[in-house]
Amino acid sequence: MKKLKILIIDDEKEICSLLKECFEEDGHTVSCSHEGLEGVEMVKSFDPSIILLDMRMPGMDGSEALKKIKELTPSPVLCVSAVIDNKVVEECLQNGAYAYVFKPINLEDLSETIESALMLSSN
């Protein structure tokens, strides 16, 4: 996989740290935000290749952040949540998310989903 700029927007700092460490070990550049509004602002300055967006956050939640992010960038967004709710999954996909990833995150599956999203978005 080519070197990516990955933006992680998740209020769980431990998840951000773990994912950041794993992706940086693979040579990617990673930036993290712990709240939706800040994450949306970071899209403008960081220009990510792909975005991992948590759905449940205080303040601006993932659904609202997703809509704003899709206005700013064509980069793929993977929605991430521990909550299994078909209505939320469907809403995310309708609002432009590439995929919905359930926590706990399987890193191998996540890497495959990222690769797939980037292949599709480059066409």
Whether 123 shows a pLDDT value over 80: the answer reads no
pLDDT at residue 58, rounded to an integer? 86
Whether 6 shows a pLDDT value over 90: the answer reads yes
Q: CA distances (Å), 119 to each of 6, 37, 49, in order? A: 15, 28, 11
pLDDT digits (tens, 9 = 90+) for 22-75: 999 999 999 999 999 999 999 999 999 999 999 999 899 999 999 999 999 999
pLDDT digits (tens, 9 = 90+) for 70-89: 999 999 999 999 988 899 99
Report the half-sphere exposure of 83 (CA within 13 A, side-chain side).
Answer: 13
Report the half-sphere exposure of 70 (CA within 13 A, side-chain side).
Answer: 18
Asked if the peptide bond before residue 104 counts as cis, ω within 30 degrees of 0, the response is: yes
The CATH number of residue 77's host domain is 3.40.50.2300
pLDDT at residue 2, rounded to an integer? 85
Look up the pTM and report it. Answer: 0.95
Domain encompassing residue 32: 5-121
Query: In this structure, how many other beta carbons lie within 10 angstroms of the beta carbon of residue 60?
Result: 16
Number of domains in the chain: 1
pLDDT at residue 84, rounded to an integer? 86
pLDDT digits (tens, 9 = 90+) for 102-122: 999 999 999 999 999 999 887
